[in-house]
Amino acid sequence: MHLPRLGARVAAALGVAAVVTVGACSPAAMMRESAQAGGGETTAVTIQIDGSAVPYYAPLYAAVEQGYFADEGLDVEFSYANGADIVQNVAAGNVDFGFPNADSVITARANGVRTSVVHTTYQRGIGAVLFDNAGGISSPADLAGRSVAVTDLGSPNYAQLQAMLAHEGLTLDDVELRTIGTGAIVQALQNGEVDAIVFSRLRYFALRTAGVDVGQILSDEYLPSFGNVLITGPETAALRPRVAGGFARALDAGIQHTIDNVDETVDMAIEKYAPTFEGQNAEIADVLREVFVAELWQSDETREHGFGHGDLDRWQAAIDSQAEFGLIEEPFDAADLVRNADDIDK
Protein backbone atom coordinates (compact mmCIF):
# COMPACT_ATOMS: atom_id res chain seq x y z
CA MET A 1 0.00 0.00 0.00
CA HIS A 2 1.33 3.42 -0.93
CA LEU A 3 1.05 5.96 1.87
CA PRO A 4 1.57 9.72 1.75
CA ARG A 5 4.69 11.11 3.36
CA LEU A 6 3.70 12.59 6.72
CA GLY A 7 6.05 14.87 8.65
CA ALA A 8 9.58 13.55 8.26
CA ARG A 9 9.19 10.62 5.89
CA VAL A 10 6.61 8.51 7.73
CA ALA A 11 5.96 5.07 6.31
CA ALA A 12 2.99 4.16 8.49
CA ALA A 13 1.12 0.89 8.21
CA LEU A 14 -1.90 2.38 9.98
CA GLY A 15 -3.96 -0.07 11.96
CA VAL A 16 -1.82 -3.04 10.95
CA ALA A 17 0.31 -4.99 13.41
CA ALA A 18 2.29 -6.88 10.79
CA VAL A 19 5.95 -6.24 10.18
CA VAL A 20 6.82 -3.36 7.92
CA THR A 21 9.73 -4.37 5.74
CA VAL A 22 12.39 -1.69 5.58
CA GLY A 23 14.24 -2.71 2.50
CA ALA A 24 17.10 -5.16 2.18
CA CYS A 25 19.90 -2.75 2.93
CA SER A 26 22.35 -3.21 5.76
CA PRO A 27 22.26 -1.16 8.97
CA ALA A 28 25.24 0.79 7.70
CA ALA A 29 23.36 1.64 4.51
CA MET A 30 20.26 2.67 6.41
CA MET A 31 22.34 4.91 8.66
CA ARG A 32 23.78 6.68 5.67
CA GLU A 33 25.14 10.18 6.10
CA SER A 34 24.58 13.08 3.77
CA ALA A 35 25.53 16.74 3.84
CA GLN A 36 23.01 19.21 5.21
CA ALA A 37 22.54 22.52 3.46
CA GLY A 38 24.43 24.16 6.32
CA GLY A 39 27.46 21.95 5.75
CA GLY A 40 26.83 19.54 8.63
CA GLU A 41 26.08 15.84 8.41
CA THR A 42 22.72 14.15 8.73
CA THR A 43 22.31 10.51 9.66
CA ALA A 44 19.18 8.83 8.32
CA VAL A 45 17.71 6.42 10.86
CA THR A 46 14.60 4.27 11.01
CA ILE A 47 12.42 3.54 14.03
CA GLN A 48 9.66 0.95 14.22
CA ILE A 49 6.88 1.79 16.67
CA ASP A 50 4.49 -0.56 18.46
CA GLY A 51 1.04 -0.89 16.88
CA SER A 52 -0.02 1.96 14.62
CA ALA A 53 0.14 5.75 14.48
CA VAL A 54 -1.69 7.10 17.53
CA PRO A 55 -1.59 10.53 19.22
CA TYR A 56 -0.07 9.00 22.35
CA TYR A 57 3.23 8.90 20.45
CA ALA A 58 3.12 12.70 20.34
CA PRO A 59 6.65 13.24 21.76
CA LEU A 60 8.18 11.38 18.81
CA TYR A 61 6.13 13.39 16.36
CA ALA A 62 6.95 16.62 18.19
CA ALA A 63 10.67 15.78 17.97
CA VAL A 64 10.27 15.81 14.19
CA GLU A 65 8.03 18.83 13.86
CA GLN A 66 9.98 20.98 16.35
CA GLY A 67 13.29 20.08 14.74
CA TYR A 68 14.76 18.27 17.74
CA PHE A 69 15.90 15.30 15.66
CA ALA A 70 17.34 17.65 13.06
CA ASP A 71 19.22 19.50 15.80
CA GLU A 72 20.89 16.18 16.64
CA GLY A 73 21.76 15.57 12.99
CA LEU A 74 19.12 12.87 12.56
CA ASP A 75 16.62 12.34 9.74
CA VAL A 76 14.05 9.95 11.21
CA GLU A 77 11.67 7.64 9.37
CA PHE A 78 8.77 5.95 11.21
CA SER A 79 7.20 2.56 10.54
CA TYR A 80 4.90 0.38 12.66
CA ALA A 81 4.71 -3.28 13.70
CA ASN A 82 3.85 -5.43 16.70
CA GLY A 83 6.20 -5.49 19.67
CA ALA A 84 7.74 -8.92 19.19
CA ASP A 85 8.50 -8.24 15.52
CA ILE A 86 10.01 -4.87 16.38
CA VAL A 87 12.52 -6.47 18.73
CA GLN A 88 13.45 -9.03 16.10
CA ASN A 89 13.91 -6.34 13.44
CA VAL A 90 16.10 -4.19 15.67
CA ALA A 91 18.25 -7.16 16.67
CA ALA A 92 18.64 -8.17 13.01
CA GLY A 93 19.58 -4.63 11.96
CA ASN A 94 16.53 -4.21 9.72
CA VAL A 95 15.70 -1.00 11.58
CA ASP A 96 17.90 1.18 13.76
CA PHE A 97 15.54 1.81 16.67
CA GLY A 98 12.37 0.34 18.08
CA PHE A 99 9.65 1.56 20.43
CA PRO A 100 7.99 -1.63 21.69
CA ASN A 101 6.47 -2.56 25.02
CA ALA A 102 9.20 -3.42 27.52
CA ASP A 103 7.69 -6.83 28.26
CA SER A 104 8.41 -8.02 24.72
CA VAL A 105 12.00 -6.77 25.04
CA ILE A 106 12.54 -8.81 28.20
CA THR A 107 10.98 -11.94 26.72
CA ALA A 108 13.06 -11.67 23.55
CA ARG A 109 16.31 -11.08 25.45
CA ALA A 110 15.70 -14.19 27.57
CA ASN A 111 15.38 -16.11 24.30
CA GLY A 112 18.64 -14.84 22.86
CA VAL A 113 17.38 -11.83 20.89
CA ARG A 114 19.76 -9.09 21.97
CA THR A 115 18.85 -5.41 22.00
CA SER A 116 19.69 -2.53 24.33
CA VAL A 117 17.19 -0.27 26.07
CA VAL A 118 18.55 3.27 25.75
CA HIS A 119 15.52 5.21 27.01
CA THR A 120 12.95 3.91 29.52
CA THR A 121 10.30 6.22 28.13
CA TYR A 122 7.32 4.89 30.09
CA GLN A 123 8.24 4.67 33.76
CA ARG A 124 5.31 2.42 34.60
CA GLY A 125 3.43 -0.39 32.92
CA ILE A 126 0.11 0.21 31.21
CA GLY A 127 -1.66 -3.04 32.10
CA ALA A 128 -4.90 -3.06 34.09
CA VAL A 129 -7.89 -5.15 35.02
CA LEU A 130 -10.94 -3.46 33.48
CA PHE A 131 -14.49 -4.22 34.60
CA ASP A 132 -18.00 -2.84 34.73
CA ASN A 133 -18.55 -1.21 38.11
CA ALA A 134 -22.02 -2.71 38.25
CA GLY A 135 -20.42 -6.13 38.76
CA GLY A 136 -19.19 -5.38 42.27
CA ILE A 137 -15.46 -5.70 41.56
CA SER A 138 -13.19 -3.36 43.51
CA SER A 139 -10.06 -5.43 44.23
CA PRO A 140 -8.32 -8.52 42.81
CA ALA A 141 -9.98 -10.58 45.54
CA ASP A 142 -13.34 -9.89 43.88
CA LEU A 143 -12.20 -11.71 40.74
CA ALA A 144 -12.71 -15.07 42.47
CA GLY A 145 -15.41 -17.00 40.64
CA ARG A 146 -15.58 -14.42 37.85
CA SER A 147 -14.87 -14.78 34.14
CA VAL A 148 -11.62 -12.96 33.30
CA ALA A 149 -10.16 -12.65 29.81
CA VAL A 150 -6.57 -12.19 28.60
CA THR A 151 -5.37 -12.02 25.01
CA ASP A 152 -3.22 -15.16 25.26
CA LEU A 153 -1.44 -17.32 27.81
CA GLY A 154 1.97 -16.00 26.81
CA SER A 155 1.08 -12.34 27.23
CA PRO A 156 2.36 -10.01 29.96
CA ASN A 157 -1.28 -9.47 30.96
CA TYR A 158 -1.46 -13.18 31.83
CA ALA A 159 1.44 -12.72 34.27
CA GLN A 160 -0.14 -9.54 35.62
CA LEU A 161 -3.33 -11.43 36.40
CA GLN A 162 -1.39 -14.13 38.22
CA ALA A 163 0.46 -11.54 40.31
CA MET A 164 -2.77 -9.80 41.29
CA LEU A 165 -4.41 -13.07 42.28
CA ALA A 166 -1.34 -14.23 44.21
CA HIS A 167 -1.43 -11.01 46.23
CA GLU A 168 -4.88 -12.07 47.47
CA GLY A 169 -3.90 -15.71 48.06
CA LEU A 170 -5.68 -16.81 44.89
CA THR A 171 -4.58 -18.70 41.76
CA LEU A 172 -5.84 -19.07 38.21
CA ASP A 173 -7.95 -21.99 39.44
CA ASP A 174 -10.08 -19.48 41.34
CA VAL A 175 -11.23 -17.64 38.19
CA GLU A 176 -12.88 -18.64 34.95
CA LEU A 177 -10.03 -17.81 32.57
CA ARG A 178 -10.77 -17.07 28.93
CA THR A 179 -8.55 -16.05 26.03
CA ILE A 180 -9.93 -13.49 23.58
CA GLY A 181 -7.96 -11.85 20.79
CA THR A 182 -6.78 -8.25 20.91
CA GLY A 183 -9.39 -7.10 18.41
CA ALA A 184 -12.33 -8.50 20.39
CA ILE A 185 -11.40 -8.41 24.06
CA VAL A 186 -12.67 -4.88 24.80
CA GLN A 187 -15.94 -5.55 22.99
CA ALA A 188 -16.35 -8.74 25.04
CA LEU A 189 -16.32 -6.68 28.23
CA GLN A 190 -18.60 -4.04 26.78
CA ASN A 191 -21.12 -6.70 25.70
CA GLY A 192 -21.07 -8.45 29.07
CA GLU A 193 -19.48 -11.63 27.73
CA VAL A 194 -16.90 -11.58 30.53
CA ASP A 195 -16.77 -9.95 33.96
CA ALA A 196 -13.30 -8.47 33.54
CA ILE A 197 -10.41 -8.21 31.11
CA VAL A 198 -6.69 -7.72 31.67
CA PHE A 199 -5.54 -5.33 28.98
CA SER A 200 -4.19 -1.82 28.39
CA ARG A 201 -5.29 0.82 30.87
CA LEU A 202 -5.67 3.22 27.95
CA ARG A 203 -8.81 1.33 26.93
CA TYR A 204 -10.37 2.54 30.18
CA PHE A 205 -10.80 5.97 28.63
CA ALA A 206 -12.29 4.65 25.40
CA LEU A 207 -14.82 2.61 27.37
CA ARG A 208 -15.65 5.58 29.56
CA THR A 209 -16.20 7.75 26.49
CA ALA A 210 -18.47 5.02 25.09
CA GLY A 211 -20.68 5.33 28.16
CA VAL A 212 -19.52 2.25 30.07
CA ASP A 213 -19.34 2.67 33.86
CA VAL A 214 -15.87 1.16 33.81
CA GLY A 215 -13.51 0.57 36.71
CA GLN A 216 -9.87 -0.40 36.70
CA ILE A 217 -7.17 -1.92 38.90
CA LEU A 218 -3.67 -1.02 37.72
CA SER A 219 -1.43 -4.08 37.43
CA ASP A 220 1.72 -2.05 38.03
CA GLU A 221 0.81 -1.87 41.70
CA TYR A 222 1.23 -5.66 41.89
CA LEU A 223 3.82 -6.40 39.22
CA PRO A 224 6.49 -3.82 38.28
CA SER A 225 6.67 -3.29 34.52
CA PHE A 226 7.15 -0.63 31.87
CA GLY A 227 5.26 0.47 28.82
CA ASN A 228 7.01 1.55 25.63
CA VAL A 229 10.78 1.96 25.68
CA LEU A 230 13.38 2.97 23.11
CA ILE A 231 15.64 0.13 21.99
CA THR A 232 18.50 -0.20 19.56
CA GLY A 233 20.99 -2.89 18.63
CA PRO A 234 23.85 -3.27 21.13
CA GLU A 235 26.31 -2.36 18.37
CA THR A 236 24.49 0.92 17.71
CA ALA A 237 24.66 1.92 21.37
CA ALA A 238 28.34 0.99 21.55
CA LEU A 239 29.65 2.02 18.12
CA ARG A 240 27.29 4.86 17.29
CA PRO A 241 26.90 6.67 20.62
CA ARG A 242 26.22 10.00 18.87
CA VAL A 243 23.24 8.47 17.12
CA ALA A 244 21.84 6.64 20.16
CA GLY A 245 22.45 9.57 22.48
CA GLY A 246 21.15 12.10 19.98
CA PHE A 247 17.93 10.18 19.47
CA ALA A 248 17.39 9.95 23.24
CA ARG A 249 18.03 13.67 23.69
CA ALA A 250 15.60 14.58 20.92
CA LEU A 251 12.97 12.31 22.48
CA ASP A 252 13.54 14.05 25.82
CA ALA A 253 12.92 17.40 24.14
CA GLY A 254 9.79 16.03 22.47
CA ILE A 255 8.45 14.86 25.84
CA GLN A 256 9.09 18.24 27.44
CA HIS A 257 7.47 20.05 24.52
CA THR A 258 4.40 17.83 24.80
CA ILE A 259 4.14 18.39 28.56
CA ASP A 260 4.35 22.14 28.04
CA ASN A 261 1.95 22.21 25.05
CA VAL A 262 -0.45 19.29 25.37
CA ASP A 263 -3.37 20.62 23.33
CA GLU A 264 -1.22 22.03 20.55
CA THR A 265 0.84 18.84 20.28
CA VAL A 266 -2.22 16.59 20.22
CA ASP A 267 -3.71 18.69 17.42
CA MET A 268 -0.47 18.36 15.43
CA ALA A 269 -0.20 14.61 16.03
CA ILE A 270 -3.76 13.96 14.88
CA GLU A 271 -3.57 16.25 11.86
CA LYS A 272 -0.22 15.02 10.52
CA TYR A 273 0.23 11.48 11.84
CA ALA A 274 -3.00 9.97 13.21
CA PRO A 275 -5.93 11.45 11.27
CA THR A 276 -8.24 8.58 12.23
CA PHE A 277 -8.46 10.23 15.68
CA GLU A 278 -9.92 13.44 14.24
CA GLY A 279 -12.61 14.81 16.52
CA GLN A 280 -11.16 13.13 19.63
CA ASN A 281 -8.61 15.87 20.32
CA ALA A 282 -9.99 16.96 23.67
CA GLU A 283 -10.34 13.40 24.98
CA ILE A 284 -6.81 12.47 23.88
CA ALA A 285 -5.40 15.60 25.50
CA ASP A 286 -7.12 14.68 28.78
CA VAL A 287 -5.59 11.18 28.65
CA LEU A 288 -2.15 12.63 28.03
CA ARG A 289 -2.45 14.90 31.04
CA GLU A 290 -4.03 12.33 33.34
CA VAL A 291 -1.82 9.34 32.47
CA PHE A 292 1.24 10.19 30.41
CA VAL A 293 2.23 13.51 31.96
CA ALA A 294 1.22 12.56 35.49
CA GLU A 295 2.55 8.99 35.63
CA LEU A 296 4.14 7.44 32.56
CA TRP A 297 6.74 9.94 31.36
CA GLN A 298 7.66 11.24 34.81
CA SER A 299 8.66 9.61 38.08
CA ASP A 300 11.00 10.17 41.02
CA GLU A 301 13.73 8.66 38.83
CA THR A 302 13.18 11.10 35.98
CA ARG A 303 12.96 14.06 38.32
CA GLU A 304 16.40 13.14 39.64
CA HIS A 305 18.08 11.83 36.47
CA GLY A 306 16.04 13.12 33.53
CA PHE A 307 13.46 11.63 31.17
CA GLY A 308 13.97 8.02 30.15
CA HIS A 309 16.08 6.99 33.12
CA GLY A 310 15.80 3.27 33.82
CA ASP A 311 15.62 2.12 37.45
CA LEU A 312 17.69 -1.06 37.30
CA ASP A 313 16.12 -2.48 40.46
CA ARG A 314 12.66 -2.06 38.97
CA TRP A 315 13.81 -3.54 35.67
CA GLN A 316 15.24 -6.49 37.58
CA ALA A 317 11.93 -7.02 39.35
CA ALA A 318 10.15 -7.03 35.97
CA ILE A 319 12.62 -9.60 34.61
CA ASP A 320 12.38 -11.80 37.69
CA SER A 321 8.58 -11.73 37.58
CA GLN A 322 8.53 -13.02 34.00
CA ALA A 323 10.61 -15.97 35.18
CA GLU A 324 8.42 -16.48 38.24
CA PHE A 325 5.24 -16.70 36.17
CA GLY A 326 6.72 -18.84 33.41
CA LEU A 327 7.03 -16.34 30.56
CA ILE A 328 10.79 -16.88 30.42
CA GLU A 329 12.84 -19.83 31.63
CA GLU A 330 15.56 -17.98 33.54
CA PRO A 331 16.03 -14.40 34.75
CA PHE A 332 19.02 -12.35 33.64
CA ASP A 333 20.86 -9.24 34.81
CA ALA A 334 18.99 -6.01 34.03
CA ALA A 335 22.32 -4.20 33.65
CA ASP A 336 22.98 -6.31 30.54
CA LEU A 337 19.84 -4.91 28.93
CA VAL A 338 19.35 -1.32 30.12
CA ARG A 339 21.65 1.61 29.45
CA ASN A 340 21.11 5.08 30.85
CA ALA A 341 22.28 8.45 29.60
CA ASP A 342 25.47 8.37 31.64
CA ASP A 343 26.33 4.99 30.05
CA ILE A 344 26.18 6.41 26.52
CA ASP A 345 28.88 8.75 25.32
CA LYS A 346 26.72 11.47 23.84
Q: Is residue 13 part of a domain?
A: no
Segments forming the whole domain that contains residue 216: 127-221
For the purposes of burial, counting CB atoms within 10 Å of the CB of 114, is it exposed (0-12), middle (13-18) or buried (19 or more)? middle
* 63 and 120 fall within a common domain: yes
Give yes or no: residues 169 and 114 share one domain. Answer: no
* pLDDT at residue 345 in the model: 55
Q: Are residues 216 and 264 in the same domain?
A: no
Question: Rounded CA gap, 156 and 171, in Å?
Answer: 16
258 and 315 part of one domain: yes
Give how many domains the chain has, as a whole number.
2
- Final residue in a domain of this structure, among 221, 245, 274: 221
Q: Counting Cβ atoms within 10 Å, is residue 145 exposed (0-12), middle (13-18) or buried (19+)?
A: exposed
Please indicate, yes or no, if residue 83 is contained in any of the structural domains.
Answer: yes
310 and 294 inside one domain: yes
Whether residue 199 is found in the same domain as residue 232: no
Q: Where are the alpha helices (DSSP H) in the chain?
A: 27-30, 58-65, 68-71, 83-92, 102-110, 156-167, 185-190, 203-209, 234-239, 241-260, 262-272, 281-287, 300-305, 312-324
Number of neighbours of residue 9 by Cβ within 10 angstroms: 13
- Specify whether 111 is located in the same domain as 134: no
Structure confidence at residue 19 (pLDDT): 39
Task: Report if residue 25 sits inside a domain.
Answer: no
Q: Which of these three, 166, 190, 221, is where a domain ends? A: 221
Q: What is the pLDDT of residue 181?
A: 92
**90 is a domain residue:** yes
Has residue 18 been placed in a domain? no
Q: Which DSSP string do the residues of 81-129 spell out, in sequence order?
A: E-HHHHHHHHHHTSSSEEE-BHHHHHHHHHTT---EEEE---SS--EEE
Mean pLDDT by 10 residues, the chain (346 residues): 34 35 37 41 94 96 98 97 92 96 94 96 96 96 97 87 95 97 93 96 90 94 92 82 93 98 98 96 96 97 96 96 90 96 69
CA 98/CA 46 separation, integer angstroms: 8
Residues 89, 139 within the same domain: no
Residue 49's pLDDT is 97
Q: Is residue 9 part of a domain?
A: no
Residue at 330 is within a domain: yes
Q: Are residues 190 and 332 in the same domain?
A: no
Whole-model pTM? 0.84
Q: Mark whether 209 and 230 lie in a shared domain.
A: no
Please say which residue of 221, 243, 266 terminates a domain. Answer: 221
| 134 and 192 within one domain | yes
Co-location of 111 and 243 in the same domain: yes
Structural domain contains residue 185: yes
CATH of the domain at 182: 3.40.190.10
Answer for the pair 176, 165: CB distance below 8 angstroms, yes or no.
no
Phi, psi of 171 (to 5 degrees): -130, 180
Residue 109 backbone class (left: φ over 0; alpha: ψ -120 to 50; beta: rest): alpha
